[in-house]
Chain A
């Protein structure tokens, strides 16, 4: 499978715990994006990387959130001291920016439930 892969698919955690999600993009893609989606809403941008550099962070990304892409390949998104409001689907996407078509391809997402 050469699509975007996200792990885990589901995560249930207690409030106050830390969680980490992983995204493996399409291998030749230089951009990687993190989005959050709540029920009935469109995906909301969180942050993106161009290779290993984190170029933009949304104001939605509080200090409890951190993302890394250390070698310009896979990325992790960590949420510290989770709150119930963090419950959402976390989507990762990748694209080959700079080409004629730079559409973002999405993974299946990680559904986080904070209890």
Chain B
């Protein structure tokens, strides 16, 4: 389940489960959204992106859903693996604006 840690919301799942990480964005004018994965000591790594003219986009084992009405973004990871353990950030931007990051969610996958 979800819990709030010292710094980050944390989602703990078992290996093989599906994970859903949620993000609320702030700027209704944003038209481009990205999910990043960040492992300890490393820079953010691009996972998947979506533009505002779409409400769903699928990648390999990942799906991003966008609900512009409530300014909500989610990342679904199918068959979660221990290697998926990391902090996940959503970022919003588009056009002439730069990316603005959310606070992140830590995903912990137990074998």
| Residue ranges of A at the interface with B (Cβ–Cβ < 8 Å) | 4, 6, 33, 35, 39-45, 48, 56, 91, 93, 101-109
Known contacts A101-B49, A103-B49; A42/B42 CB under 8 A? no
Partner-contacting stretch, out of B12-20, B67-75, B94-102: B94-102
| Chain B residues in the interface with A (C-beta under 8 A) | 6-8, 32, 34, 36, 41-46, 49, 89, 91, 98-104
Contacting B100 at CB < 8 Å: which of A45, A91, A102?
A45
Interchain nearest-CB distance for A57 vs B (Å): 11
Question: How far is the CB of A45 from the nearest CB of chain B, in Å?
Answer: 5
Checking B45, B98, B103 against A42 with a beta-carbon cut-off of 8 angstroms, the contacting residue is B103
Residues of B within 8 Å of A91, CB to CB, are: 43-44
Task: Tell me whether chain B's interface is mostly helix, strand or loop, or mixed.
Answer: strand
- Tell whether, in the assembled complex, residue B104 and residue A42 are in contact, meaning their CB atoms are under 8 Å apart: yes
CB-nearest residue of chain A relative to B32?
A102
B100 shortest CB reach to chain A, Å? 7
Across the interface, do A105 and B7 meet the contact criterion of CB distance under 8 Å? no
The chain A residue with its CB closest to the CB of B106 is A40
Minimum distance in angstroms from A42 CB to a CB of chain B: 3
List, sorted by A's number, 17 A–B pairs whose CB atoms are closer than 8 Å: A6-B43, A33-B98, A42-B101, A42-B102, A43-B44, A44-B101, A91-B43, A93-B43, A101-B49, A102-B32, A104-B34, A104-B46, A106-B43, A106-B45, A107-B43, A108-B41, A108-B43
A103 with B46: in contact, given A39-B7, A40-B7 (CB under 8 Å)?
yes
Chain A's closest residue to B44 (CB) is A106
* Contact in complex: B101, A43 (CB < 8 Å): yes
* Contacting pair B98 A40 (CB below 8 A): no
The reply to whether A41 and B104 form a contact with Cβ atoms under 8 Å apart is yes
Nearest A residue to B46 via CB reads A103
Q: What residues of chain B lie closer than 8 Å to A93, measured between beta carbons?
A: 43-44
Residues of A within 8 A of B32 (CB): 102
CB-CB under 8 A from A44, the residues of chain B are: 101
